[in-house]
Amino acid sequence: MTNKNTPDDKNKRDFLQVSTYALGAVGAASFVWPLINQMNPAADTLALASTEVDLEQLEEGQAITVTWRGKPVFIRHRTKEEIASAKDQLLDGLRDPQTDEERVQNEKYIVLVGVCTHLGCVPLGQKSGDVKGEYGGWFCPCHGSHYDHSGRIRKGPAPTNLEIPQYSFLSDTLIKIG
């Protein structure tokens, strides 16, 4: 066989080489993806049931903590003063501006995921003896984040307000979280 290195041959070889690399890369990536994706939440974890809570017994000024998806959810029956102070707050001063109306379905009950938006500690403020922080709502002892009566971040390192879970009122005092 004669060994002619015509420009044509060279182009062919380049093409073969590039397409081999490309195919190899696609093959490797499609094998790596299952290895990575197995770490994402499994089907049964995603299917975690919702939680129903009866608020009949929850008096004004009291709070309860329930578990949802392995996380604490805070439900607080707010007093008149707490509601008023949450509503009166001007948006200017807020790091993550939201009105109280946007954060509640029934202004008597504030429902929050009880996980500090900084690094995930559970803030204090659910029990009557707890430190509640400078804004009277919740206080995260881990690195000192202060939340107000609406669960909005007011001071400290947390970037956003306490998260509101998906929930709905099945009746006046029965709520379903999730």
- Residues labelled catalytic: 143
CB of 104 to another protein, least distance (A): 23
CB of 13 to another protein, least distance (A): 36
131 counts as binding ligand FES under rule CB under 6 A: no
Cα(118)–Cα(132) distance, integer angstroms: 17
Amino acid, res. 2: T
CB of 69 to another protein, least distance (A): 4
Question: Residue 145 binds which entry of another protein, ligand FES, none, with Cβ cut-offs from 5 to 8 Å by kind?
Answer: ligand FES
Reading the block at residue 87, the tokens are 């509503």
How is the beta sheet containing 71-77 ordered, strand by strand?
63-68, 71-77, 109-113
DSSP 106: B
Question: Residue 71 binds which entry of ligand FES, another protein, none, with Cβ cut-offs from 5 to 8 Å by kind?
Answer: another protein
63 counts as binding another protein under rule CB under 8 A: no
Interacting stretch for another protein, rule CB under 8 A, among 13-21, 70-78, 85-93, 97-105?
70-78
Cα(74)–Cα(68) distance, integer angstroms: 10
Residue span 96-125 as binding mask against ligand FES, x where in contact by CB under 6 A, dash where not? --------------------x-xxxx----
Cα(47)–Cα(27) distance, integer angstroms: 32
Long-range CB contacts (within 8 A, 24+) of 61-69 = 63/125, 63/126, 63/127, 64/126, 65/114, 65/126, 66/177, 68/113, 68/165, 68/177, 68/178, 69/178
**For another protein, which residue of 10, 16, 22, 41 counts as binding (CB under 8 A)?**
41
CA-wise closest residue to 145 among 163, 165, 120: 120
CB of 161 to ligand FES, least distance (A): 13
Interacting stretch for another protein, rule CB under 8 A, among 9-17, 20-28, 78-86, 115-123?
115-123
Binding site for another protein (CB under 8 A): 36, 39-42, 45, 48, 65, 67, 69-72, 115, 118-122, 140-144, 157-159
